[in-house]
Amino acid sequence: MAAETRLLANAIRALAMDAVQAANSGHPGMPMGMADVATVLWTEHLKHDPADPAWHDRDRFVLSAGHGSMLIYALLHLTGYAQPTMDDIRNFRQLSSPCAGHPENFLLPGVEATTGPLGQGVAMAVGMAIAERHLNAEFGDDLVDHRTWVIAGDGCLMEGVNHEAAGLAGHLGLGRLNVLWDDNRITIDGATDLSTSEDIAARYRAYGWHVAQCDGHDFASIRAALAEAAADPRPSLVACRTIIGWGAPNKQGTSATHGAALGVDEVAAARKQLVWDSEPFDIPQPILDAWRAAGRRGAGAHEAWRTRLAASPKREELVRRMEGRLPADTGLAAHLDSLAATPQKIATRKASEMALEAINAAIPETLGGSADLTGSNNTKTKAQKPLTKNDYSGRYIYYGIREFGMAAAMNGMALHGGVIPYGGTFLVFADYCRPAIRLSALQQVRAIYVMTHDSIGLGEDGPTHQPVEHLMSLRMIPNLAVYRPADAVETAECWALSLARADGPSLLALTRQNLPQLRTGRSDNLCARGAYRLRGAGAARRVVLVATGSEVEVAVKTAEALEGQGIGADVVSMPCWSLFDAQDAAYRADLLPADALIVSIEAGTTLGWERYTGRHGLNIGLDRFGASAPAEDLFRRFGFTAEAIVPQVIAALENKGDQ
Amino acid sequence: MAAETRLLANAIRALAMDAVQAANSGHPGMPMGMADVATVLWTEHLKHDPADPAWHDRDRFVLSAGHGSMLIYALLHLTGYAQPTMDDIRNFRQLSSPCAGHPENFLLPGVEATTGPLGQGVAMAVGMAIAERHLNAEFGDDLVDHRTWVIAGDGCLMEGVNHEAAGLAGHLGLGRLNVLWDDNRITIDGATDLSTSEDIAARYRAYGWHVAQCDGHDFASIRAALAEAAADPRPSLVACRTIIGWGAPNKQGTSATHGAALGVDEVAAARKQLVWDSEPFDIPQPILDAWRAAGRRGAGAHEAWRTRLAASPKREELVRRMEGRLPADTGLAAHLDSLAATPQKIATRKASEMALEAINAAIPETLGGSADLTGSNNTKTKAQKPLTKNDYSGRYIYYGIREFGMAAAMNGMALHGGVIPYGGTFLVFADYCRPAIRLSALQQVRAIYVMTHDSIGLGEDGPTHQPVEHLMSLRMIPNLAVYRPADAVETAECWALSLARADGPSLLALTRQNLPQLRTGRSDNLCARGAYRLRGAGAARRVVLVATGSEVEVAVKTAEALEGQGIGADVVSMPCWSLFDAQDAAYRADLLPADALIVSIEAGTTLGWERYTGRHGLNIGLDRFGASAPAEDLFRRFGFTAEAIVPQVIAALENKGDQ
């Protein structure tokens, strides 16, 4: 049996070294080192059905060490997934192939997460394990009862995010999470002892994890360790002592196997060492048959699950949630009616809380939280109970001071499906979780970031806490919808858009300070077009003031002052750039006509606003760090008042006339 | 003695609660909770001299839990620093005061680091401790022999960066680093057990640290723990069990004291509890005298050090380094001569390595490293030995897979002085260390980031590793100089500018792929103006192509193709936006004249380029995620070729004619 398992594992090794050699690019060392462990996991433990990669109750497998992508491509192919085909694998790392350099969830079913940015796979797996327990609490063992498995490398465990994720997992007692650590003692720069002397097992025990160990090339040892991990009620770290590039006789055990093709000679030597006679990309039929048989292992469990699902009164609800369809009523229409009836002068963070009260009552799949700023982010609604180790049905997570861990966990929850995660921190700390926000966007998942204290308007905490460049730099992340609503109505509209956006993340930038409700009456969702004319000019229009968030109020006052001097000024509120840029040219030209002076007003960097104001427009912004003082003092100090802006507009009109 | 020490500590408590109450904003809980520990540290251990906050051999003190800023303001005032004055403290958190919401190194001597973004204080302290040991190895115990002390909160220890920093400190055996952990079991959201169950002491032991514990309100216990920490050869974590807001009878021990004024009634109750009768901001003379006497404690040691320094043959070199003055010859002039004589077609990362060979030979204070990408970042020069636990004289640090920890440590080194840190990673992982890059800029320190693989040009690793929005979003960080050189000459020039920039950080974005040397002959440093005309139009100029880095070559080819069709085209290379924006209007208008079509070419987000190209200019860029394929395929796929660009330029010229 051990010998046979080794043959199966060697099929992974052969594919890994052949594909990397063909591309002359890639990472053979990890797949070859972890092939034995991965083979035991995928043939004896992993609950999945290659015939249906979307089976809701499948185990989740995350290759956190994503550079070893050939490992998962080999596993998917060998166990019988429709993709990747052997041609896909032959084209590893080429434009046409779904076998990208790192695994991409949007290219291949069975790839549960995009990995490669180290540490985040582990952290996303924590989110998946949370989602699983939460849905289990709501839908029961019959419908939701699966594990989350991770393969992680030394890099994953050195990155800071693993500390945040492992701490959270230990706290929440996520016993169905098992991380298999490829303990090969090699990093890119050389031996791990160049840079670390840590006792990783002791550290994980300190988080409340169970730690098992195995010889990663001894099948009895691997089996014992995986069984131990599966049985233990705590999250488990399995330290798999391996040799990187196992099978490549002259290079194994060295960083030379990590990130480059082995070379023709070494591949030939490895074939000899592994007694692997077949041609590149050719798997001997008995070995392929054994793999395919292992791939069919889960079909019975899947069928039994289907039967239970069909009989369950919760079927429709589970399927609705897992398919990411919102309930017909999100609660927001009634909330907007109420705002029309009773305008609110409140901070948009508070407006967000009011919207959430409606949303959380109407949409059972929202799962909120904050990185220890619950009262400041206004992310917790009254009925939300905490999700705890003893009660996973709670819908609020106290993430602790772990912004990156929170964001990565949100990605994992969204990837798992069945929940819509939202989480809060200060906007300035978007920097702390930016790598995960980028992965939300790349992975096309519905994670919703609630980021408050969105400008110098936060006041006294000073420049370390005042975002300046953040809003604009977030707008640049492809596929991230960034919203900065101006009042309670826009906040509700932006929440509606965020929830409806199933194929990408949203980020709401919200104020600490109170803002008047600028929109009265009831209308369509005006934020849906990204920008709209809030006030038309009274006098003949010479100026268009474009602003976002808290500066829309400033724009309105500026327009009033200009109109007082006979200068016609429109006010355009632009809560979402990417939505505005997607409008047709006529709409855009109508809002921002070529013959008017376009003036931007936003308490952040001006770089970027020239997209709308042009080379000779006027940008009222902040291109330096803020300062510590009460918010009103800062707005005055940095010129975000009608008094300061009006003379600049008049001067710009005069200059424009000269040109 | 204990009673007297308590009185001293109560002076801190009174100032903290009074200043926060006056501002009606701030964080009284931490200063009140840690007042006893801080008093012992500052009156019995800390080696400093309030008369000279810049004493090179002083102990460094970092308040990592920066929200407790009143603690350090009180300590500086009480021990006799010239600033802050009592008026400054009265104006806590007001525009005019150096007593900002969080401590800012650029506002107050004695504040060694700007803190507040949690976890980074600890990580900067690691860098300070590295710099101290490194300089000790070079200058000896007589001149460099001090400790680094940190006060950190639960938040600091939950943030991922503390994992990276503590792992590095344990590995390097930084025994003179002592972290006093304010173990008050309270975070903003409530008790720490809402979000964590970790055994922090066990975790730090796993990193190779020594852990001591004390009752943070029992002076004998505090003294024993600090003595134990000071004596132990390993870095020490001192768990100080404290009560947040100690002294406020109705609120102490709760999160209510964390981030808000106590209120008039509770301040009055605390005065009663502390038996503190004096008026707000009034310190009884005997207590002030005792503090001032403690402040003079270090004067003798300082004087003895001055005497040793005066007698040392290493005096001039130490002072030069600590004052941040470069040697007269940086080695780069000779290197540029050699490039003029022998042009190089190499990747700019390789060009950076060549520049570093010259720099590291000429400038002994450079201290390099990489976050486990040494061979890819080309950051290690031949003569550099590693800095290790057994040999701190090494000038290269294997940081491990710890981008954030590296960047924060670099800040600490630069703040310490005497070294010029540079460190490498991939540009895409700027996101992983962005919070520290921002603090480099805010703190105005000379940290140099070497970020390679700066576009889709990295090829097969795919979108997780290909920067798109990074370059532009880094340009938005105030006071960060971002350089993207186009060839070996520009790379050397940008290195020269980075080294000369003593009051702020620099970031070099460098290619993986080879680039031709576009500049031949020898000239002034043309990068110093941020942008310059690389090639003037042959035919009458109708187009200006502005590009950076690897796309300058594309611009040159595009210009040649346009000229072939009789369309005159300048090529402007723009390695540094912030330097270009600082030029006078005439220079800027000469390069980017109003009557030409301005076309930007950069393999990254177009948002931002409208600053130079206007609303109707043409921006050749990448506003989506990349893909996995060989670099040349990607450049073709995404249109970064003369063939793809020329027709767009011609169409834009026609449109422009229509307007």
Mean pLDDT value across chain B? 97
Helix (H, G, I), strand (E, B) or coil at A482: strand
Mean pLDDT value across chain A? 97
pLDDT digits (tens, 9 = 90+) for B51-84: 999 999 999 999 999 999 999 999 999 999 999 9
Mean pLDDT across the stretch B383-394? 98
pLDDT for the residue A617: 83
Which CATH number, 3.40.30.10, 3.40.50.970, 1.20.58.390, 3.30.230.20, labels domain B332-516? 3.40.50.970
pLDDT for the residue B431: 98
Give the C-alpha separation, B659 to B647, whole Å: 19
Residue B613 CA, chain-centre distance (Å), reads: 32
pLDDT for the residue A404: 98
The region, left, alpha or beta by phi > 0 then psi within -120 to 50, assigned to residue B168 is alpha
pLDDT digits (tens, 9 = 90+) for A519-540: 999 999 999 999 999 999 998 9
Judge contact between B188 and A379, C-beta under 8 A. Answer: no
What part of B 186-225 touches A (C-beta under 8 Å)? 187-190, 194-200, 202-203, 205-208
pLDDT digits (tens, 9 = 90+) for B594-643: 999 999 999 999 999 999 999 878 999 999 999 999 999 999 999 999 99
For residue A305, what are the contacts with CB-CB under 8 A and spacing of at least 6? Answer: A55, A57, A143
Kindly determine whether residue B188 and residue A465, on different chains, have CB atoms separated by under 8 Å. no
Q: Which of B165, B550, B623 is nearest to A159 (CA)?
A: B165
Model confidence at A616: pLDDT above 80: no
Model confidence at A390: pLDDT above 70: yes
For residue A169, what are the contacts with CB-CB under 8 A and spacing of at least 6? Answer: A126, A129, A177, A207, A209, A235
Confidence of residue A180 (pLDDT cuts 50, 70, 90): very high
Judge contact between A221 and A9, C-beta under 8 A. Answer: no
Give the position of tokens 């798992």: A416
Q: Which of B184, B185, B181 is nearest to B211 (CA)?
A: B181
Give the C-alpha separation, B556 to B385, whole Å: 41
Chain A residues closer than 8 Å to B442 by CB: 463-464, 625
pLDDT digits (tens, 9 = 90+) for B159-172: 999 999 999 999 99
Instruction: Compute the half-sphere exposure of residue B510: CA atoms within 13 Å on the CB side of its CA.
Output: 33
Instruction: Compute the half-sphere exposure of residue A640: CA atoms within 13 Å on the CB side of its CA.
Output: 25
Pairing of strands A481-483, A514-515: unpaired
Q: What is the DSSP string of A152-178?
A: E-HHHHHSHHHHHHHHHHHHHT-TTEE
Chain B residues closer than 8 Å to A102 by CB: 461-462, 464-465, 628
Confidence of residue A542 (pLDDT cuts 50, 70, 90): very high
- Please report which helix (H) or strand (E) contains residue B124, including its range: helix B120-139
Kindly determine whether residue B476 and residue A478, on different chains, have CB atoms separated by under 8 Å. no
Model confidence at A492: pLDDT above 70: yes
pLDDT for the residue B617: 83
pLDDT digits (tens, 9 = 90+) for A229-272: 999 999 999 999 999 999 999 999 999 999 999 999 999 999 99
Check if A582 contacts B (Cβ < 8 Å).
no
Per domain, the residue ranges of chain A are 1-302, 332-516, 528-657
Judge contact between B57 and B19, C-beta under 8 A. Answer: no
Closest partner residue to B116 (CB to CB) among A104, A465, A473 is A465
Helix (H, G, I), strand (E, B) or coil at A72: helix
Check if B110 contacts A (Cβ < 8 Å).
no
Confidence of residue A1 (pLDDT cuts 50, 70, 90): very low
Query: Residue A595, Cβ neighbours under 10 Å: how many?
Result: 7
Q: Which of A195, A191, A117, A205 is nearest to A161 (CA)?
A: A117
Give the C-alpha separation, A222 to A182, whole Å: 12
User: Which of B92, B159, B428, B606 to mutate to test binding with chain A, by most A CBs within 10 Å of its CB?
Assistant: B159
pLDDT for the residue A3: 56
For residue B327, what are the contacts with CB-CB under 8 A and spacing of at least 6? Answer: B320, B362, B363, B364
Model confidence at B1: pLDDT above 50: no
Closest partner residue to B160 (CB to CB) among A154, A405, A624 is A405
Closest partner residue to B464 (CB to CB) among A114, A373, A400 is A114
Exposed e or buried b per residue across A35-53, where buried means at least 16 C-beta atoms within 10 angstroms of its C-beta: bbbbbbbbbebbbbbbeeb
pTM of the model: 0.98
Query: Residue B241, Cβ neighbours under 10 Å: how many?
Result: 16
CATH code reported for the domain at A528-657: 3.40.50.920
Give the C-alpha separation, A656 to A652, whole Å: 6
Q: Which of B396, B419, B423, B439 is nearest to B128 (CA)?
A: B419
Mean pLDDT across the stretch B483-504? 98
Mean pLDDT across the stretch A501-523? 97
Give the C-alpha separation, B29 to B16, whole Å: 9
Which CATH number, 3.40.50.960, 3.40.50.970, 3.10.20.30, 2.40.50.100, labels domain A1-302? 3.40.50.970
pLDDT for the residue A64: 98
pLDDT digits (tens, 9 = 90+) for B309-352: 999 999 999 999 999 999 999 999 999 999 999 999 999 999 99
Active-site hit among A164, A403, A551, A553: A403
Check if B479 contacts A (Cβ < 8 Å).
yes
pLDDT for the residue A2: 46
Q: Amino acid identity of A385? A: K
The encoded tokens of residue A490 equal 């826009």
Burial label, A615 (beta-carbon count in 10 A; 0-12, 13-18, 19+): middle
Bridge partners (DSSP) of residue A239 are A181, A213
Check if B321 contacts A (Cβ < 8 Å).
no
Same fold, B1-302 and B528-657: yes
The encoded tokens of residue A117 equal 């940015």
Confidence of residue B41 (pLDDT cuts 50, 70, 90): very high
Share above pLDDT 90 across residues of chain A, in percent, rounded to a whole number: 98
pLDDT for the residue B131: 98
Kindly determine whether residue B171 and residue A431, on different chains, have CB atoms separated by under 8 Å. no
Altogether, the residues listed in chain B come to a count of 659
Chain A residues closer than 8 Å to B154 by CB: 401
For residue A570, what are the contacts with CB-CB under 8 A and spacing of at least 6? Answer: A533, A535, A536, A537, A541, A543, A544, A545, A559, A591, A596
pLDDT for the residue B2: 46
pLDDT digits (tens, 9 = 90+) for A219-234: 999 999 999 999 999 9
Confidence of residue A400 (pLDDT cuts 50, 70, 90): very high
CA dihedral A87, A92, A96, A101 (to 10 degrees): 150
Cis peptide bond upstream of A280, omega within 30: no
What part of A 292-311 touches B (C-beta under 8 Å)? none
Chain B residues closer than 8 Å to A477 by CB: 469
Q: Which of A45, A42, A43, A15 is nearest to A31 (CA)?
A: A15
The encoded tokens of residue A611 equal 């997209």
Q: What is the DSSP string of A368-418?
A: EEESS-HHHHT---TTPPBPBTTBTT-SEEE--S-HHHHHHHHHHHHHH-S
Q: Which of A403, A480, A607 is nearest to B195 (CA)?
A: A403
The encoded tokens of residue B343 equal 């042009």
pLDDT digits (tens, 9 = 90+) for A267-292: 999 999 999 999 999 999 999 999 99
pLDDT for the residue B213: 98
Judge contact between B101 and B46, C-beta under 8 A. Answer: no
